[in-house]
Amino acid sequence: MQLTPNEKRVLSALNDLKRSPPAELAAKSDLNPDALMQSAYLLEEKGLSEIQESVTEIYTISEEGKEYARVGLPERQILSYVQSCGEGVTIPELKTRFPPAIVGISMGWLRRKGWAAIADGVVVPAGDAAPDTGADEDTLMMLLEEGVLTESAHETAVKDLIKRKLVDVTEKKLRTIAITEEGEKLSREISQVEETAEIVQLTSDIIRSRRWDNIRAYDIHATVPRTYPVKIHPYQRLIDQMRRILLEMGFTEIKGDVVQSSFWNFDALFQPQDHPAREMQDTFYLNSEAELPEGYEKVRDVHEFGGETGSTGWGGEWSEELSRKEVLRTHTTAITIRYLAEHSDPPKKAFCIDRVYRREAIDPTHTPEFEQLEGVVMDPGVSFANLLGYLVEFYHHIGFKDVRFRPGYFPYTEPSVEAEVYVDSLGWVELGGAGIFREEVTAPLGIKCPVLAWGLGVSRVAMLRLGLRDLRKLYQSDIDWLRESPVGA
């Protein structure tokens, strides 16, 4: 039978005492009362001890009782006065000397105790000497001195005192712990084993001397303090997972500057110069300008009249000045399109996961900066069906098994598509847009084959995967959240 160290201590103490109230046993076992009782009950469950409960009355002295204990019971006060007068005293006279209540109480008791006779309103003492103190008076004195009594030799006297409201009574449960036969047997066995000392901490000495026979058994279920491993940010872990998936799918990672010209952020993507997304309202503009790249005129032409693409273009006059204005990139497409323009020999598969900026006020689902993922494929034979193929593959890998598509709209892709994934708790959730770059985008930059492109709000996936309601948590992190977020399998 396995006993905890506390249980062993209690059993051993109990074996010495055989029967004991908890306080005594606690002292003997050197445990606090709570720990003692816990062990005692555990021992009882194992049949090693018995806990008996009994109810006892506890007597305490009342305020009035204390007073009489000091000055004597009313009957004794009256008697000693009457005796001092040397003859009988009338009740009315007594009432001038003592409070009438006291006189009233006394008459009955004087008679009952046989200390005096009352005839025709005159109190006549039974003798000259003061009578011996009665059991009631003794009990009262004892209570005054000791405060509490649990049992009394003078039950009737106590009952009288209770009736006279000089003593209060309360009930108390008393527990007694006793050892069983089995307990005694086990205790003996243990004490034999304990003669060779129990090992708590293994030491180098013990190992080298091979004296490890008596290693204390631990309760392997006892609670231990929680330790938190230091780790990378849960959001970074998700970003790294997406990066890994894309690298495994054969995509090359690209990066670029946050500060971009309107040319790369908008114009190269055939975003008309009067497009609402380009307004100060939505985009962070800087008070600086960039040089336009060589060959920018082709982009101008495609905006104005379609250039050589057969498109109608947007019409109107394209402004170089607007195109030079610098902005904080509003999408990672600014990075991917520039990469493709500078590496226009196919095939190319590239991705960019990085921070983008939108002029939006902060609230739980909007932040002025967030991560975006962008993937592009430039390959002579690729088609819209291939784009859907890449999307399904990518979403499967990040854990969304059901993917469906519907038409979408982005200014720089045609055809465009919205991907939706099925999330158990939410149903179909829009998770990213995709399309084939318009020829108005690719042709002026010297790109001669189709470019598949898709984008994804990484922070949206993070909200779904990390179960977040507030995007800000990703950026203004609570350290306890970081401590407690599991790394996962």
Partner 1 sequence: MPVITLHYDDLENLTGADRDTILERVRMIGADVERVHDDHVDIEFFPDRPDLYSVEGVARAMRGFLDIETGIPQYAVRESDVEITYDQEIGNIRPFLACAVVKGIKFTQHSIESLMKLQEDLHWGIGRNRSKVSIGVHDLDRVVPPFRYIAADPSYEFVPLDFEVPMSIGDMLKKHPKGVKFAHLLEKFDKYPLILDSEDTVLSFPPIINGTLTRVQDDTENLFIEVTGTDKSVSVALNIVVTAIAERGAEIESVQVCTPETAHITPDLTPKTRSISVGDADALLGLDMSHDEVLQALRRMRFDAAARSDDVIEVVVPAYRADIMHAYDIFEDIAIGHGYDRITPVLPETMTIGEEHPISRMKSSLREIMVGLGFYEVMPFTLTSETVHFEMMQRPQTSDTRGVTRVMHPITREQTMLRTTILPNLLEILSFNQHRELPQRIFEAGEVVSGGRNEVHLAAVAIDAHANFSEIRSVVDSVMCERRAAHDITESNDPAFIDCRCADIIINGESVGVFGEVHPGVILNFGLDQPVIAFEMWGLKV
Q: Indicate which single residue of 409, 446, 448, 484 sits in contact with partner 1 (rule: CB under 8 A).
A: 409
Q: Considering beta carbons, is residue 179 or 445 the nearer one to partner 1?
A: 445
CB of 232 to partner 1, least distance (A): 5
Q: Indicate which single residue of 87, 120, 171, 480 sits in contact with partner 1 (rule: CB under 8 A).
A: 480
What is the per-residue binding string for partner 1 in 202-241, x denoting contact by CB under 8 A?
----------------------------xxxx-xx---x-
CA distance 148 to 240: 74
**Residue 87 has what DSSP assignment?**
S
Please tell me whether residue 422 binds partner 1 under the rule CB under 8 A.
no
Please tell me whether residue 118 binds partner 1 under the rule CB under 8 A.
no
Please tell me whether residue 438 binds partner 1 under the rule CB under 8 A.
yes
Please tell me whether residue 326 binds partner 1 under the rule CB under 8 A.
yes
Closest CA to 321 of 356, 285, 357: 285
Q: Indicate which single residue of 70, 112, 404, 448 sits in contact with partner 1 (rule: CB under 8 A).
A: 404
Q: Considering beta carbons, is residue 81 or 384 the nearer one to partner 1?
A: 384
CB of 233 to partner 1, least distance (A): 4
Residue 191: partners with Cβ closer than 8 Å, 6 or more residues away: 12
Q: Indicate which single residue of 49, 83, 265, 416 sits in contact with partner 1 (rule: CB under 8 A).
A: 416
Q: What is the CA radius of gyration of the chain?
A: 48
CB of 349 to partner 1, least distance (A): 5
Give the number of residues written for the chain: 489
Place of tokens 């449960």: 173
CA distance 155 to 159: 6
Please tell me whether residue 389 binds partner 1 under the rule CB under 8 A.
yes
CB of 463 to partner 1, least distance (A): 15
Closest CA to 434 of 372, 483, 479: 372
Please tell me whether residue 484 binds partner 1 under the rule CB under 8 A.
no
Could you give the 3-state DSSP secondary structure of residue 151?
coil
Q: Considering beta carbons, is residue 81 or 405 the nearer one to partner 1?
A: 405
CA distance 102 to 68: 11
Residue 190: partners with Cβ closer than 8 Å, 6 or more residues away: 3, 8, 11, 12
What are the angstrom distances between the C-alpha of 372 and each of 201, 243, 464?
Answer: 54, 12, 15
Residue 402: partners with Cβ closer than 8 Å, 6 or more residues away: 421, 422
Please tell me whether residue 393 binds partner 1 under the rule CB under 8 A.
yes
Please tell me whether residue 414 binds partner 1 under the rule CB under 8 A.
yes
CA distance 44 to 47: 5
Q: Considering beta carbons, is residue 125 or 375 the nearer one to partner 1?
A: 375
Please tell me whether residue 185 binds partner 1 under the rule CB under 8 A.
no
Strands (E), 330-412: 348-357, 369-378, 403-407
CB of 341 to partner 1, least distance (A): 18
Residue 282 · residue 359 · CB < 8 Å = yes
Q: Indicate which single residue of 258, 398, 429, 466 sits in contact with partner 1 (rule: CB under 8 A).
A: 258
Please tell me whether residue 259 binds partner 1 under the rule CB under 8 A.
yes
Q: Considering beta carbons, is residue 183 or 313 the nearer one to partner 1?
A: 313
Please tell me whether residue 431 binds partner 1 under the rule CB under 8 A.
no
Residue 421 · residue 348 · CB < 8 Å = no
Structure tokens at 431: 């998770």
CA distance 198 to 216: 6
Please tell me whether residue 417 binds partner 1 under the rule CB under 8 A.
yes
Please tell me whether residue 297 binds partner 1 under the rule CB under 8 A.
no
CB of 402 to partner 1, least distance (A): 13
